[in-house]
Chain A
Amino acid sequence: MAGTALLGRLTWQLAEVVDVVAETPRVKTVVFDVPGWPGHRPGQHVDVRLTAEDGYQAERSYSVASAPDGTRVELTVERLDDGEVSPYLTDELRTGDRIELRGPVGGYFVWEPSAARPVLLVGGGSGVVPLMAMIRARAAALSDVEMRLLFSSRSWDEVIYRDELERLSGGGLTVVHTLTRSQPPGWTGYARRVDAEMLGDVSPRPEERATIYSCGPTPFVETVAEALVQLGHEPHLIKTERFGPTGG
């Protein structure tokens, strides 16, 4: 198992930027080549460390966005205006640059493509990133496990991975969007924040005992988890991951 192959010292290593892709106006995917990368499990993180000339260091944790693929590791980063790390990652990094990275780390918010249970993914904004690693790993494994994504974004232009999600849909993967602030003309989908009624519509029935992963800002995740428990889903099947402004 990749997570435990690293028992012992976690070491920082240099990762080289091989591509930078704009996802939305505020979000970019940075593609790294990480020599000796041991592979990762969908949902795991890496730590990124930046060091200023005066020695000041800032470390942040980012979910890996990509499915395991050799030494290629993709991080999708939302630019937070007051962040210490994300503006550098989204604005300054260029192909050929190198930064320090360590991982993979984590094991709680992880899905294994070999798991047979249906899966419900509930993402808010850039909280979709670890969920996308799960969706991509499912596709790479040619799994037909039933997987549903309920994805809350502010507007159609801010839907991260929009085209790829459309392409991957079908064959057991269902993607449901809700657009909370503005909707394109003719939009017939959900147009409000995720609530219990919406979760009731989209979720598998509690008797199906789906594994549930929810990631987003803290208030989003707390609302989702509480509503799902009220709908009858077992608390131990609900895994949450919160991020806040300090994640930047």
Chain B
Amino acid sequence: MDPHMLDGNAVAGLLQEVFAAEMTTAIGRCGNCGATEAIGAVRVFRGAGVVLRCPHCDNALAILVMRGDDIWISLSGVRGLTISRS
């Protein structure tokens, strides 16, 4: 187990900045294994960018890279996201 690993709680602010919603309670479905998990419970690795990984199969769910005033996002590993509107 990688001691540098965090979880989705650590990027709550960044995700709220991007989605304009509280995202740690959002439920994501992994595009690889199909498992569902709260974003607060997914694995997060920080380096040059932020990678969110499925805690069940380690698939990269999302990648976010900050470049100056821009954020580049890939959501190719997520099949679906359920976000509370309340």
Point out residues on A near B: beta carbons under 8 Å: 3-4, 6-10, 45-47, 59, 61, 102-103, 105-109, 217-219, 222, 239-247
State in angstroms the CA–CA spacing of A195 and B25 once bound together: 29
Is B28 at the interface (CB under 8 A from chain A)? Answer: no
**Are A10 and B46 in contact (CB-based, < 8 A)?**
no
Choose among A103, A106, A222 the residue that contacts B1 (Cβ–Cβ < 8 A): A222
Chain B interface residue number, banded = 20 to 34
**Are A218 and B1 in contact (CB-based, < 8 A)?**
yes
Nearest chain A CB to B53's CB is how many angstroms away? 13
**Are A102 and B13 in contact (CB-based, < 8 A)?**
yes
**Are B6 and A107 in contact (CB-based, < 8 A)?**
no
**Are B6 and A109 in contact (CB-based, < 8 A)?**
no
State in angstroms the CA–CA spacing of A206 and B9 once bound together: 26
Given contacts A105-B16, A218-B2, contact A240 B7 (CB under 8 A): yes
State in angstroms the CA–CA spacing of A177 and B9 once bound together: 26
> B35-47 vs A: 1/0 string, CB under 8 Å?
0001111000010
Nearest chain B CB to A104's CB is how many angstroms away? 9
> B74-86 vs A: 1/0 string, CB under 8 Å?
0000000000101
State in angstroms the CA–CA spacing of A9 and B16 once bound together: 8
State in angstroms the CA–CA spacing of A219 and B84 once bound together: 31
Nearest chain A CB to B54's CB is how many angstroms away? 15
Residues of the A chain whose Cβ atoms lie less than 8 Å from the Cβ of B16: 6, 10, 105
**Are A109 and B9 in contact (CB-based, < 8 A)?**
yes
Point out residues on B near A: beta carbons under 8 Å: 1-14, 16-17, 20-22, 24-25, 38-41, 46, 84, 86
Most A CB contacts (10 A, CB to CB) among B6, B13, B22 go to: B13
Residues of the A chain whose Cβ atoms lie less than 8 Å from the Cβ of B17: 9-10
Most A CB contacts (10 A, CB to CB) among B5, B14, B21, B22 go to: B22
**Are A105 and B12 in contact (CB-based, < 8 A)?**
yes
**Are B46 and A61 in contact (CB-based, < 8 A)?**
no
State in angstroms the CA–CA spacing of A45 and B3 once bound together: 21
**Are B13 and A245 in contact (CB-based, < 8 A)?**
no
State in angstroms the CA–CA spacing of A247 and B3 once bound together: 11
**Are A242 and B5 in contact (CB-based, < 8 A)?**
yes
**Are B10 and A61 in contact (CB-based, < 8 A)?**
yes
State in angstroms the CA–CA spacing of A80 and B4 once bound together: 13
Residues of the B chain whose Cβ atoms lie less than 8 Å from the Cβ of A246: 4, 6, 46
6 example contacts (A-B, Cβ-Cβ < 8 A) are as follows A9-B20, A45-B10, A61-B10, A240-B7, A246-B4, A247-B10
Nearest chain A CB to B23's CB is how many angstroms away? 9
